[in-house]
Structure 1
Amino acid sequence: MKEYKRIFVIVMDSLGIGAMPDSEKFGDIGVDTFGHILERMRTLDIPNLRKLGMLNLHSGGDMTGIKQPVGRYCKMAECSNGKDTMTGHWEMMGLRTEKPFRTFTETGFPLELIKELEERCGKRVIGNKSASGTAIIEELGEEEIATGAMIVYTSADSVMQICGNEETFDLENLYRCCEIARELTMKEEWRVGRVIARPYVGKKKGEFKRTSNRRDYALKPSGATTLNALADAGYDVIGIGKIHDIFCGEGITESLHSTSSVNGMEQTIDICKKDFEGLCFVNLVDFDALWGHRRNPEGYGREIEKMDQNLGVLLDTMREDDLLIITADHGNDPTYTGTDHTREYVPLLAYSKKMKEGGKMPDTDTFAVIGATIADNFDIRMPEGTVGYSILEELK
């Protein structure tokens, strides 16, 4: 007998809640994404997250918890060796990653890799540094068009991005080059999580604009996950935002692209109004992409407030036999040095209208309790080689 007919998992991408014990090994000392945002902002207008117990779990600034939160809450530690989006999401669904994906934020890609990429693609590489996608097109777009070169860049994530002007590069050629890059970056020493085609249009600075013809070439998960088990058992697995890209489509039965985190919450509310049975898995990326990497705590705080507004609508829309889980995949402290993710604990907030009471749950030593709990709820077996344990009894 299923406890819940529908489960919604919303990932507030990068909303960490304090340094893990091993954070120094990752170059992160005293990091605390949510705590430092609260210190900087002093207060946030987040009545719904507060109602679920977020501030009971982690307070700061002028804000504290409430006496009787309606949600269950705890903090989760990451057992995988990493602090990136794919590692965090894969662990939620049962996969422990031992070897972290490579990042090339400080150095750019190795010359050996660039040389091989140039030879295979027949194009000279320009850029090869960590940069904002819009900024590097403004900087190098005219040179790319004039010389037939191709812009290659990275970021704080484990990613290689290749820009191409749709009028002079040709989309199919851009995709071909990205497929070559994906093949080359399968090598262990160059292993990045994603290669992304970033097409744009325009002829000169000030006119360049990225198009919607982006294409992601992600690594497939290292094994079957809770998503595969759910889909194989005939349940709906609806991915919103980056979920399809993160899992390379594995185990996803329906996918919705989001234009923003606000749009992602609106899509989640729309899905909540429809009939389905299974999982709705949501990634809200703007916290990370727009504010964490750009070290903007005020922008990050305002984004949390926007999410909270739509969270109120979602809570009102939920049915009696729905379960909502809100979490994060890593930290990205906007007050810390550099632009990289930060190794942090993440929150787990859970709520259902049928829950007997709210309150603190035992902290967990892995994100994989989420996938294991989902599998337990739908009475399906987790795939072989996965990790995690169910906390379903805590969520009744």
Structure 2
Amino acid sequence: MFRRVVLIVLDGVGCGALPDAAAYGDAADGGAANTLGHVADAVGGLALPCLQRLGLGNILPLRGVAPVARPQASWGRMAERSAGKDSTTGHWEMAGVIQTQPFVTYPQGFPPEILALFEREAGCPALGNVAASGTSILGRLGAEHLRSGRPIVYTSTDSVFQIAAHEQIWPLERLYALCRRLRPQLDRYRIGRIIARPFVGSVAEGFRRTEGRHDYSMAPPPMLLDALQQADVPVLAVGKIFDLFCGRGISAHWPTAGNADGMARTAAVFATMERGLLFTNLIDFDMLYGHRNDVAGFAAALQAFDQFLEGFLPSLTADDLLLVTADHGCDPTWPGTDHCREYVPLLVCGGAGQPAVALGDRASFADIGATLAANFGVTALAGDSFLAALASPGPQMRQRA
């Protein structure tokens, strides 16, 4: 049906706790995580006119974003079937991979056998080995790192092995090479990602992380992007998509410095692509605002994305499809700084004149992969396609205004 498809993942923008959220620490004492809802309440209401017209307010009660009688996009929400609540799990599920076994987390730090692997490859012991925020750890251990040259290793409640190093002590390629050597050795421990976290600065001026972040994920099992590649369907990746899928099935990719860069790159790539899938991750919601409990920053980032959509939507033709969703929640008002086990929004905007339909509650993120598989004529690994619903107006259909 659609020659070009754009899939934009708003990293961490959940829309309400899943029924099993309590098992993940995201619901208790009558309260529960709700990234979009709580951000809207905390700032006194969100101004998202474009997303409101598309039907965001029809998905969940959202202060400042009212439901509309005739949404301009198909709308719904998706539950995560996989075990976990991290970016790798969420993105893999969109590509048809349902994980029954979660990645392993080490909230008390990594055991001696893992640190021994690190020391062998790094040539020195690690600093830290704690669960910590990526900014606070630099304040605590940055000076010692400069003195000793030992990289800082830290984690979180997510399955991540993060290595922070000053770019003048550990140049980027040296840090990346260390991560590449460690990746296959940590697979047996089911650590989802190794993340290179370069930084710059000094004790006197303070330290700051740079744009050289690079993620090294476990290799996924067979998934949608492999099938698209085998069918000669181009897959163009913007942001950390390439990292999350270890480059598999991806024809070309562009790393980004944040949301603004990712949105600009998405528009530029879309303007020149002839066919295929453009797969974008916008990371700032999660990395800069959710994990740092920055409600105002989160709200401002949503408004910036809304403004981007306002300019991007007119570029869609009758042969194009846009999907906007998320990979998990990261509620900046919820206790802690971790991801949240939440539903994610789903907005699907077809080309010119495409009608809109209520897509309801989807049982899996894999419904996106099944829909893309049906569109491009490859076999889906999991999920239920909603492509037919987009093509055939039914009783729940709402025509565009």
TM-score, length basis structure 1: 0.91
Distance 1:76 1:155, change over 3 A: same
Contact (CA 8 Å) 2:179, 2:194: kept in 1 or not?
Answer: yes
- Give the aligned partner of residue 131 of structure 1: 132
Q: Matched residue of 1:66: which SS? A: coil
- Give the aligned partner of residue 314 of structure 2: 316
- Give the 5 Å matches for 1:151-190: 151-169=152-170, 171=172, 173-188=174-189
**Correspondent of 1:16 among 14, 17, 30:** 14
Measure how far apart 1:318 and its partner are.
Answer: 1.3
* Aligned mates of 2:207, 2:23 — CA distance in 1: 40
Distance 1:389 1:352, change over 3 A: same
**Correspondent of 2:58 among 56, 59, 83:** 56
- Give the aligned partner of residue 144 of structure 2: 143
Gap regions ≥5 residues in structure 2: 392-401
- Give the aligned partner of residue 395 of structure 2: none
Contact (CA 8 Å) 2:324, 2:345: kept in 1 or not?
Answer: yes
Contact (CA 8 Å) 2:48, 2:65: kept in 1 or not?
Answer: no
Measure how far apart 1:251 and its partner are.
Answer: 0.6
- Give the aligned partner of residue 277 of structure 1: 275
Deviations 1:249-307 (A, max 9, x none): 01110101111112211111112222321100111111111111112222211110000
Distance 1:286 1:273, change over 3 A: same
Task: Point out the more displaced range, 351-360 or 51-60.
Answer: 351-360
* Aligned mates of 1:361, 1:85 — CA distance in 2: 23
Structure 2 counterpart of 1:393, one-letter code: A
**Correspondent of 1:25 among 17, 23, 41:** 23
Structure 2 counterpart of 1:15, one-letter code: V
Structure 2 counterpart of 1:39, one-letter code: D
Structure 1 counterpart of 2:310, one-letter code: G
- Give the aligned partner of residue 378 of structure 1: 376
* Aligned mates of 1:75, 1:212 — CA distance in 2: 32
* Aligned mates of 1:275, 1:184 — CA distance in 2: 38
Deviations 1:20-63 (A, max 9, x none): 11111111101111111122123212111111110011123344
Q: Matched residue of 1:185: which SS? A: helix
Q: Matched residue of 1:372: which SS? A: helix
- Give the aligned partner of residue 206 of structure 1: 205
The RMSD of aligned alpha carbons is 2.1
Q: Matched residue of 2:100: which SS? A: coil
Structure 1 counterpart of 2:260, one-letter code: V
TM-score, length basis structure 2: 0.90
Distance 1:300 1:172, change over 3 A: closer
- Give the 5 Å matches for 1:210-289: 210-221=209-220, 223-289=221-287
- Give the aligned partner of residue 99 of structure 1: 101
Contact (CA 8 Å) 1:138, 1:206: kept in 2 or not?
Answer: no
Measure how far apart 1:149 and its partner are.
Answer: 2.2
Measure how far apart 1:348 and its partner are.
Answer: 0.9
Measure how far apart 1:202 and its partner are.
Answer: 4.9
Q: Matched residue of 2:272: which SS? A: coil
Q: Matched residue of 1:87: which SS? A: helix
Q: Matched residue of 2:360: which SS? A: coil
Task: Point out the more displaced range, 17-26 or 145-154.
Answer: 145-154
- Give the aligned partner of residue 194 of structure 2: 195
Contact (CA 8 Å) 2:228, 2:378: kept in 1 or not?
Answer: yes
The number of aligned residues is 387
Measure how far apart 1:387 and its partner are.
Answer: 1.0
Does the alignment pair 1:393 with 2:393? no
Contact (CA 8 Å) 2:216, 2:244: kept in 1 or not?
Answer: no
* Aligned mates of 1:170, 1:269 — CA distance in 2: 32
**Correspondent of 1:343 among 332, 341, 344:** 341
Measure how far apart 1:216 and its partner are.
Answer: 3.0
